[in-house]
Amino acid sequence: MTDSLADAPVDLSNCEKEQIQFLGHVQPYGCLIAVSRDWMVRHASANTGEMLGHEAQAMIGTSLADLFPRDVTHDLRGRLQMLGHGAGAARIYGIDLFEDGRAFDVSVHLSEPHYLFEFEPKTEGGARDEMSLVQPLVARLRRQPDIGRMAREAARAMKALTGFDRVMIYQFQRDDSGKVIAESAAPGLTPFLGLRFPASDIPPQARALYVRNPIRLIRDVDAPPQPILSAPEAEGERIDLSHSVTRAVSPIHLEYLRNMGVAASMSVSILRDGKLWGLIACHHGTPHYLDYEKRSAVELFTQLLSYEIAALENEAERAQATKARVLHTSLLARMTDSTAIADNFKKIAEEIGEVIPFDGIAIWINDRYHAIGATPTGEEFAGLLRHLHSTHARHAGATDRLIDRYPAAESFANRAAGILALPISRGPRDYIVLFRREQVEEVTWAGDPAKPVSTGPNGLRLTPRKSFEAWTETVRHQSAPWTDSEIAAAETLRITLLEVVLKIADDSIAERKRAQERQELLIAELNHRVRNILNLIRSLVSQSRSGVTSVEEYSRLVDGRIDALARAHDQLTGSDWEAASLKTLIETEIDAFIAAQRDRVRITGPDVGLTPEAFSTLALVLHELVTNAAKYGALKDGHGWVEVGLSRDAQGDLRIEWRERGGAPLRASKGRGFGTTVIERSIPFELGGEAELRFALTGAEARFRIPARFVATAPEAAPARDDATTDDGEAPFTLEGKALVVEDNMIIAMDASDILSELGCAAVSMANGVGEALRLIEAEQFDLALLDVNLGNETSLPVAETLRARGVPFLLATGYGATEDITAAYPDAPTLKKPYTKRSMRAGFMALLRDGNG
């Protein structure tokens, strides 16, 4: 196993036949030891002496237990014990192999008949928790509504996580070619987004290996591989390196990467149902290394990405299947024999079109041809029918290039380039056929997809492309592809129609009845909920008419009451529909009326939590109290105030006392308006509590009792109000130009970048430290910036000074607020207190740019 990779013979079929799992070498960033079941070393890579201090030839034939301290050997044996058949690799991070302070990451896996140990020296010290980054990144994926946006977020997250120059999400197509559906790349790199790579770039055995071993790092394409040496009696043994983490690289693939200008790469498999859905492909212009611990976090992130992609696609397939079942039920209910199919063909076509899009549809039944839309003529279909008898007589069959299977289709390819055929009789006789028009497509390849035959460094063979510039090919005689879910829906439809023709629909009728019952139950539940909501809104609309004198006043009343319910709902959903803070509810309602003078409402007593059942009721009551105080009572002018007292009695009931002071004297109205009715009756009626309202000369007074079952412990205090806030009523404000975010926490940086983009910034660059920030400022012109004060082991002061010298306005983000230390270090710099929101960031930049600070 000591042959040089460079000497391996390569012929014209080598790309597809090369057994890349038996290369017999490892990459030099790690070393490998293969031991037998009795713990004896049989193979070792040539660099073990340099990496472990034990020369390979000296180790071979000895016991692995003699190479390491006793406790380390015990730990390694324990990890082996945990390996079951097909269990993958056991991973050990930062183990002190020789108890001398040198840390290693270790991978152990079974490769019959050996255990393979792979060792990588630890390059980063200190306590690390790479896995903690995965969950917040996955949470960002889950917020994306479709595969395209999820892929873009995944590429962006992977670039931030790994530091590679370019990260591409590469999706395999039906012909095994791959398309770049998302990309995140460093400035100045030629984009590959949208380009197609031919199937020959990743031959079948490589795709199979991607399924078995999902992550692959190539640290340096020019690093010499290290041969695996063997014991004399084991010279003929070949080690299967399928699951190896340091396995060397095919010279053909290395040449391919060099032709792309790539010095280091990493690929991570995206799997669905055990099959290769795509890859995350990472490229770097210089050698680049991620230790085993970080690669494990990358692998976990990609596995979770795979689950999220599968969930989105499964949901789409379930929706398609649901449509097919509805169509199934509809057709069975309408038709009883084959004559009914022909008689109802137009209606059938319309219903099928709602499930499976097509350009034309034809039916051949009882030796008669019926067609709608873009279809072959009767004479053309007669020839196609003979082809269908020989190929699609027993199941639904589809092709988006009919001409490849039936050359005579060239005569009508512009009308029907692709077909989906549904046999609807027991023998080869009757069909429904869906057609799709020719869809002339411009496919943009990453270079000419044809691999030229030439003499390369390894002899006569298929040479990897040297150019990856966009190469466009026009594809004709092809329709839009039929998806798996469409074909599955067609098969469901075929069975349905076959049942009609064969008159065996009993089982389907029973299933239709069960589905109908489930649907009726769901409709009844939905109807109940919608009616409750509509009744509440109708009551608000109806009762608010009392006492109003104009349409404008009526509109304000209704809008205010509905808005109060909306604010309460927002607060409840913000607390995951758990008990929500009463004080926050009061403050929220006050802010809606007198945000600038909120100190005129004085709240005393301990905060409590209100259950969702009570929260909406209190929201309406408080809205009416605040509205009355602002329109008629203590908050009408600038002299009065309101005192709100909160307390719990011996039974745990909540007591609320509302007293208005210093305003104009009030008199109770002769009638009871809807607002007064809400205050006096909502709590007794809805919650079984008590309510009392009276109008004293000193101002309105109200007392309420909320039963203890609706009162919970006060939730954790909400974050302090942002240093920079703005009333919702201010004029719209958007940002422009290019922004810089300097933040050492990757997740916070990505959130800030998203907010700045939503506020109008055309482009946002991120830096995690002073050095990177200064390089970006030197290379690009920024219009504004957001700087985190504390960047771990450094502060952003040098960045602030550089931006100030260039006249670039900036905000400071800090978890401390505007302290004396920060004010001294950054004079006149506005601060944005963490955690910040879109609203507070907008307000901060509004104040910064309008006041001319920075």
Residue pLDDT, tens place only, 565-620: 555 455 544 444 567 888 888 887 776 666 566 788 899 999 988 887 788 788 87
Better-predicted residue by pLDDT, 387 or 523: 387
Better-predicted residue by pLDDT, 497 or 852: 497
Q: What is the pLDDT of residues 74-126, one digit of tens each?
A: 888 888 777 655 557 888 998 999 988 899 999 998 888 889 999 999 987 66
Q: Which amino acid is at 779?
A: A
Average pLDDT, integer, range 201-224: 89
In the prediction, which pLDDT does 533 show?
46
Residue 662 C-alpha from the chain's centroid: 55
Q: Which amino acid is at 300?
A: L
In the prediction, which pLDDT does 518 show?
55
Statement: residue 453 has pLDDT above 50: no
CATH architecture group of domain 738-851: 3-Layer(aba) Sandwich (3.40)
Statement: residue 295 has pLDDT above 50: yes
Pairing relationship of beta strands 360-365 and 580-581 according to DSSP bridges = unpaired
Biggest alpha carbon–alpha carbon distance for the chain = 109
From CA 727, how far away is CA 330, in angstroms rounded? 54
Residue pair 641/601 in contact by the 8 Å Cβ criterion = yes
What is the dotted CATH code of the domain comprising 335-440+476-504?
Answer: 3.30.450.270
Provide the token pair at 238: 């070949």
Q: For the chain, what is the mean pLDDT?
A: 80
Better-predicted residue by pLDDT, 331 or 543: 331
Of 373, 372, 369, 366, the residue nearest 384 (C-alpha) = 369
The CATH 3.30.565.10 domain(s) of the chain lie at 544-712
Of 773, 810, 809, the residue nearest 791 (C-alpha) = 773
Residue 452: pLDDT band (50, 70, 90) is: low
Residue pair 831/818 in contact by the 8 Å Cβ criterion = yes
CATH superfamily of 544-712: Histidine kinase-like ATPase, C-terminal domain (3.30.565.10)
- The count of other CB atoms within 10 Å of the CB of residue 383 is 13
Pick the CATH number of 5-121 from 3.30.565.10, 3.30.450.20, 3.30.750.200, 3.40.50.11540: 3.30.450.20
Coil/strand/helix, residue 370: strand
- The angle at the Cα of 44, spanning 38 to 49, to the nearest 5 degrees, equals 120
Residue 400: pLDDT band (50, 70, 90) is: confident
In the prediction, which pLDDT does 655 show?
95
Provide the token pair at 362: 């034809």
Of 744, 782, 732, 743, the residue nearest 761 (C-alpha) = 782
Q: What is the pLDDT of residues 676-719, one digit of tens each?
A: 887 888 888 888 899 999 887 778 899 999 999 999 887 765 44
Q: Is the dihedral of CA 26, 29, 34, 40 positive or negative?
A: positive
Statement: residue 775 has pLDDT above 90: yes
Burial (CB < 10 A; 0-12, 13-18, 19+), residue 451, is middle
In percent, the amount of the chain with pLDDT more than 70 equals 76
- The count of other CB atoms within 10 Å of the CB of residue 19 is 10
Q: What is the pLDDT of residues 506-562, one digit of tens each?
A: 443 455 566 566 566 455 444 533 444 444 455 456 545 656 667 776 666 565 555
From CA 106, how far away is CA 122, in angstroms rounded? 10
Distances in Å between the alpha carbon of 839 and those of 136, 723, 725, 764, 842? 22, 11, 7, 18, 5
Coil/strand/helix, residue 498: helix
In the prediction, which pLDDT does 814 show?
82
Residue keyed to tokens 């607002």: 675
Residue 77 C-alpha from the chain's centroid: 39
In the prediction, which pLDDT does 493 show?
81
Statement: residue 182 has pLDDT above 90: yes
Of 187, 188, 142, the residue nearest 740 (C-alpha) = 187
Better-predicted residue by pLDDT, 535 or 143: 143
In the prediction, which pLDDT does 7 show?
46
- The angle at the Cα of 43, spanning 37 to 46, to the nearest 5 degrees, equals 150
- DSSP lists the bridge partners of residue 365 as 368
Q: What is the pLDDT of residues 467-518, one digit of tens each?
A: 566 556 666 778 888 888 888 888 888 877 776 665 533 443 455 566 566 5
Pairing relationship of beta strands 89-96 and 215-218 according to DSSP bridges = unpaired
From CA 721, how far away is CA 729, in angstroms rounded? 18
Q: What is the pLDDT of residues 718-729, one digit of tens each?
A: 444 444 334 444
In the prediction, which pLDDT does 35 show?
92
The CATH 3.30.450.20 domain(s) of the chain lie at 5-121
Provide the token pair at 323: 């449509």
In the prediction, which pLDDT does 559 show?
58
In percent, the amount of the chain with pLDDT more than 90 equals 31
Residue pair 615/585 in contact by the 8 Å Cβ criterion = yes
In the prediction, which pLDDT does 764 show?
93
Pairing relationship of beta strands 831-833 and 810-814 according to DSSP bridges = parallel
Q: What is the DSSP string of 284-348?
A: ESS-----HHHHHHHHHHHHHHHHHHHHHHHHHHHHHHHHHHHHHHHHHHH--SHHHHHHTHHHH
Q: What is the pLDDT of residues 784-837, one digit of tens each?
A: 999 998 887 888 889 999 999 999 999 998 866 556 667 677 777 788 877 677
From CA 818, how far away is CA 517, in angstroms rounded? 62
Better-predicted residue by pLDDT, 510 or 774: 774
Statement: residue 278 has pLDDT above 90: yes
- DSSP lists the bridge partners of residue 574 as none
Better-predicted residue by pLDDT, 194 or 823: 194
CATH superfamily of 130-216+249-315: GAF domain (3.30.450.40)
Better-predicted residue by pLDDT, 321 or 806: 806
Q: Which stretches of 503-653 are assigned E, i.e. beta strand?
A: 580-581, 601-604, 609-610, 641-648
